Structure 1
Amino acid sequence: MILHITLKEKIFSLFFPIGLSKMVFSLLWIVFSIFVLMSGIIIAVLVIVWLERKISASIQQRIGPEYAGLLGTIQALADGIKLFLKENIIPAQGDHWLFNIGPILVLMPVLLSYLVIPFENDAILADFNIGVFFWIAISSIVPLGLLMSGYGSNNKYSFLGGLRAAAQSISYEIPLALSVSSIVLLSNSLSTVDIVQAQSKYGLFSWNLWRQPIGFFTFFIASLAECERLPFDLPEAEEELVAGYQTEYSGIKFAFFYLAPYLNLFVSSLFVTILYLGGWNFSIPFLSILNNFEPIFLITGINDVSRIVAGTIITLIKSYLFLFISMMTRWTLPRIRIDQLLNLGWKFLLPIALGNLLLTISLQLFLL
């Protein structure tokens, strides 16, 4: 039997002979992992912003960003630098504590969600046994930050935007959690790595998409609403609320609100890939079966680094497919009314997600 040695243990074996203690190496490994993750997130967000601008321009038959870098590729970076250098304005009559804490509570939970996302079996920052539950629990903090920001701004438009954000999040978090619960029942685990591995046996045919089509449909709509994407951008509807909870913000705090939806959209697309599209596994069953045999890797010379790179590329390709569909949805469908949004969540998605969960439980008990 060939024992599995993680990439971290192999790297540690290279540095341990020169006297580097295990505790020091663990601290350096944490710093290095966080640096790599944050760098990847920043690059991914810049790419997403550029893609959305180019795709929306193509849909509307215009050019889009063109002059800042090759085909406008650094336009998003230029906008970020501009926001960072802008003056930070605080309303004189607002609640300064809530006004300053709100953007942090909006951005930090989204960043923490990346801890439990596996890009490959060994490419995960924190492999919790309750990874999916951690994501759902930490994402429920975001509406509190939006509500605090709207209330602390002392602006009626901001306050209405915060109330809408809280109501929308509560309405769609429950169907989303029920959809994820069905996946957990099928995989018998809350770990994101275990959920992906449960879909690795037959490649494309092992995806939870085929076993949970109703759950996938519910998760897709609920994730768009959680990201406040059109047609669910009621909390910041420009025609009604100017910009909602972010009306009074400027500078770096506004940049937090600008980044959070894109980061959340990327997180949602990654979780769609993990939960329903097989994660980092190959879509072709033959190649997926070959991955289970260690001698094949020894013959072909595939090492841990190349395996992680290949798994990351496959994960990102699947995720960007979901991102493209989300962008097409934003620039295709009109914004719905607030009563239609709440009715869709409570009267349509919630019964469907609950029925899907009960059906999954029944089938699981029947197969035992």
Structure 2
Amino acid sequence: MDVLQLLFATLIFPGFVFLVALSFLTQYLIRKLSARMQRRMGPKYVGPVGILQPVYDFLKLLQAKELLKTRYSMVRAAEISLLLGLSSLIASTLLLPLNIYNIGSPYDFLIFFYMASIWPILMIIFASLSMPGPYTSVGVSRLLSILTVSEPAFFTGLLVPVALASFNTKAPLMISIASARVHELWVNPLTLPIMILVTISLIVAVQSKLMLPPFNIPEAEQEIIAGYETEFSGPLLALAILFHDMDTVVSALAIVYLVLGGPAPFSHSSIEGALLLILKYLLVIVVATYVKNVFGRYRIDQALVALLKYGLMPAIVAGILGTIYLYF
């Protein structure tokens, strides 16, 4: 019975099928919201109100478009790297309270962050370097420059509320414990400033982590022709787009549970809890889309300064204030 539950959680919910469906839906929402903000039509024709357009685009790239390669391309290595990255993102969701098959242990937040953030980044870099082109190395170097600041900011922004919420419990840095108690930090006057700083940090860190404007320098089409994804095409490009959308979903779910408290103070099984969870997820997506459409692309030096000033520094200050709150 445990094996069947684990297989269901991995393959159906909250694993592969659920994440793929939510990734397509999230891509549709972002494209539709972006079109509305830019006074365009956006996806409209495929499916009701265009909701199946991301699925159609994925299948078109997967089946109809040719995979272009050069004599130095290692297509199989790129495919394996992207599939390993997707697998890591899927496995990371098993540690979230969304999983009906309860998996968790003290310090599982560190495992979650490794699978949800560090490993996928390594895989997208390996996939890019497996399809070398004249602009690939430039795009990868810019990507690494951004990630050296955005990843510490993202990690610290998630770590602070998890540490505060799970302090003085038998399960430090445990996701399920932290997500159930983190909403209390928002109503505590002493921890409210910390949560505001964490939220500011994560808004900036997520934009850069997902390569969304204004931090999409590594794929600046007008400058380096899509950067680290220059040589992706056909089925490989379909996997890369799905990889990005799934990364968006997992990052949003991490913020929803570890910063906004998921369905708390309600339970997942209640109607109120389910609606609250959906609203918080939509809030994260709407904010990311709004920032994406309001700002223009930064230069690499501007991006690094902005990340340090509005991403990493608020997270560090929040960490210092959180330490003072816990021990003094």
> Which band: TM-score by shorter chain?
0.7 to 0.9
> TM-score, normalized by length of structure 1?
0.78
Contact 1:280 1:311 survives alignment (8 Å): yes
Letter in 1 for 2:55: L
1:90–1:361 distance in 2 versus 1, CA, 3 Å: same
CA deviation after TM superposition for structure 1 residue 88, in Å: 3.2
SS of 1:260 mapped into structure 2 = helix
1:347–1:332 distance in 2 versus 1, CA, 3 Å: closer
SS of 1:212 mapped into structure 2 = helix
**What is the aligned partner in structure 2 of residue 221 from structure 1?**
204
1:75–1:266 distance in 2 versus 1, CA, 3 Å: same
> TM-score, normalized by length of structure 2?
0.87
Contact 1:68 1:75 survives alignment (8 Å): yes
Please give the alpha-carbon distance, in whole angstroms, between the structure 1 residues aligned to 2:279 and 2:53.
Answer: 23
- Of residues 100, 116, 137 in structure 1, which corresponds to 2:114? 137
Please give the alpha-carbon distance, in whole angstroms, between the structure 1 residues aligned to 2:158 and 2:52.
Answer: 36
Please give the alpha-carbon distance, in whole angstroms, between the structure 2 residues aligned to 1:98 and 1:50.
Answer: 29
Please give the alpha-carbon distance, in whole angstroms, between the structure 2 residues aligned to 1:341 and 1:201.
Answer: 34
- Of residues 74, 81, 94 in structure 1, which corresponds to 2:59? 81
**What is the aligned partner in structure 2 of residue 29 from structure 1?**
5
CA deviation after TM superposition for structure 1 residue 335, in Å: 0.7
SS of 1:80 mapped into structure 2 = helix
Q: Which has the higher contact order (CA 8 A, sep 6+)?
A: 2
Contact 1:132 1:192 survives alignment (8 Å): yes
SS of 1:67 mapped into structure 2 = coil
Which consecutive residues of structure 2, in runs of 5 or more, have no partner in the other structure? none
1:1-368 map, 5 Å? 25-34=1-10, 35-37=12-14, 38-85=16-63, 86-96=65-75, 98-119=77-98, 123=100, 126-138=103-115, 139-187=117-165, 188=167, 189-199=172-182, 205=187, 211-282=194-265, 306-307=269-270, 310-346=272-308, 349-366=311-328
Letter in 1 for 2:13: V
1:241-290 residue CA offsets vs partner (Å, 9 max, x unmatched): 211122212222211211222212222221222122221114xxxxx5xx
Q: Name the larger-Rg structure.
A: 1
SS of 1:116 mapped into structure 2 = coil
Letter in 2 for 1:135: F
1:32–1:46 distance in 2 versus 1, CA, 3 Å: same
Please give the alpha-carbon distance, in whole angstroms, between the structure 2 residues aligned to 1:256 and 1:235.
Answer: 18
RMSD: 2.5
Moved over 6 A (4+): none
Letter in 1 for 2:3: L
1:84–1:183 distance in 2 versus 1, CA, 3 Å: same
| More moved, 62-71 vs 147-156 | 147-156
Please give the alpha-carbon distance, in whole angstroms, between the structure 1 residues aligned to 2:79 and 2:45.
Answer: 35
Contact 1:130 1:191 survives alignment (8 Å): yes
Letter in 2 for 1:58: R
